[in-house]
Structure 1
């Protein structure tokens, strides 16, 4: 079955619509819990920023990242410090800008690497399209978390969701609305006829023809 490939343009679109959705929230709202996540909306956005950034970092080197090779320190025990951090005093717009930066970097990297490139992810050795799809899904899933916590409305467009859903969740149904299906696939919602997923859900990072 043919499917639409996920590219850097999809990552940039995902971060752009997420930024647009988050901007109406007042600064005080960012202390609220981010939906089902066990952290504030501010920390959830920094988590998202670093996640998207990590996809660029892993795939960017001439020899893409493999597990165990020395790389950037992503956190220190006992705190939430990460490579990308935003001064809370600068307000949420600064952190939203970091999301756009990370998305632009990830988009540029995935579009510049050959289809044969592979880099490590905890859920498989992924190709550039896989990292693009991860950037889309990571962004949209956490956009859901954030907008829940911030009291905002959000629903991602079907034509953006569907290709990333097909790439990372080949087991997902194809005859259902893509957005609630993505929420189901990531353990965030119910889908008629399917058992709700628990916190141990995963996606298929490796190319679909590589098992």
Structure 2
């Protein structure tokens, strides 16, 4: 899987600085940045400020709010100076992302109140790509970032956006900066970092389309797995997620979560939903664990947390689970998590938990 790390931040910033340098002879304070209300100088300051802010959030492990600081260009800083500040901020964010452990999350408001190092890297790259586009549009400069870089952003921050072969045009459309054939214009948007649900011994970490693609192809999804890799059910669940993503109906809160053990950061299984809740507020859950993690109560702990999360004001009235008759341990998991057996057939039992 192509990583979303410090190298991607560096790639985005270097491309942006190179493109914008062609317009340093203009007065940026008198040129509007594309469709924005800001001028190009204010937009350059904003790019640098976001890169610094994301580095600060992640380095400082902020948990409840933004770290209270801002970056302002000095009055006598020319356009070259502005580009130097952007480049410096990019180096700082790239370094912080590259040295931050995978498990660390820090505050960001949209939409689940936190992001990991991949999330902050992706947000930094998105700010650079989009606002460089705005400035280039205002200054009349040519700018189109690498398609892979745009796909990196889309598959991590826009899981709700149906993919299109033209990744750059899709990103512009998804952020209200352009049109795509057959799609209505976007007037309001927010990106979406992956959700995380903590428990006493593990965290349920939402799987992005980027990670799901890697899992489906036999990779790790960017996780360090106990026993060397996930159980086959995890790869099947990743395939279901990708089908929903391709159809434009995937929502991360109703997707797949990898169960990561807190003590050592190893992934021990996965758990998630078989789609959105239906009209009656019912949604089905499924899960599996790698063999080396079974018998420790991880599935029960995770299912209790996932059930509480789903039933807490998200329109869910009933959680369902189907378990093979021969799978006695899994029947124990759902029972201990509060589910009740409601029906059966020749092969399986159906369980339900009402909110």
Q: TM-score range by the shorter chain?
A: 0.7 to 0.9
Separation (CA, whole Å) in 1 of partners of 2:72 and 2:82: 8
Separation (CA, whole Å) in 1 of partners of 2:15 and 2:146: 9
C-alpha displacement at 1:38, in angstroms?
0.7
The residue that corresponds to 1:206 in the other structure is 194
Q: Output the TM-score relative to the length of structure 1.
A: 0.87
C-alpha displacement at 1:30, in angstroms?
4.2
The residue that corresponds to 2:27 in the other structure is 28
Separation (CA, whole Å) in 1 of partners of 2:164 and 2:171: 13
Higher relative contact order (CA closer than 8 Å, sequence separation 6+): 1
C-alpha displacement at 1:11, in angstroms?
0.5
1:65 is the counterpart of 2:62: yes
The residue that corresponds to 1:78 in the other structure is none
1:44 is the counterpart of 2:43: yes
Helix, strand or coil: the match of 2:27? helix
Decide whether the 8 Å contact of 1:27 with 1:91 is kept in 2: no
Structure 2 portions without partners, runs of 5+: 196-205, 208-251, 254-355
Decide whether the 8 Å contact of 2:65 with 2:107 is kept in 1: no
**Corresponding residue to 1:107 among 91, 94, 99:** 94
**Structure with the higher strand share, 1 or 2:** 2
Separation (CA, whole Å) in 2 of partners of 1:175 and 1:137: 17
Q: Deviations over 1:71-95 (max 9, x none)?
A: 323xxxxxxxxx3222343310100
Q: Output the TM-score relative to the length of structure 2.
A: 0.53
Structure 1 portions without partners, runs of 5+: 74-82
Question: For the structure 1 residues 175 and 151, does the alpha-carbon distance in structure 2 shift closer, same or farther, using more than 3 Å as the test?
Answer: closer
Separation (CA, whole Å) in 2 of partners of 1:66 and 1:193: 40
Question: For the structure 1 residues 99 and 41, does the alpha-carbon distance in structure 2 shift closer, same or farther, using more than 3 Å as the test?
Answer: same
Q: Deviations over 1:79-126 (max 9, x none)?
A: xxxx32223433101000111111111111111111111111121310
Decide whether the 8 Å contact of 2:28 with 2:41 is kept in 1: no
| Superposition CA RMSD, Å | 1.7
C-alpha displacement at 1:194, in angstroms?
1.6
The residue that corresponds to 2:3 in the other structure is 5
Helix, strand or coil: the match of 2:107? strand
The residue that corresponds to 2:73 in the other structure is 86
Which structure: larger Rg?
2
C-alpha displacement at 1:66, in angstroms?
1.9
Q: Deviations over 1:165-198 (max 9, x none)?
A: 1110112233321100110111111111222111
The residue that corresponds to 2:53 in the other structure is 54
1:164 is the counterpart of 2:161: no
The residue that corresponds to 1:77 in the other structure is none
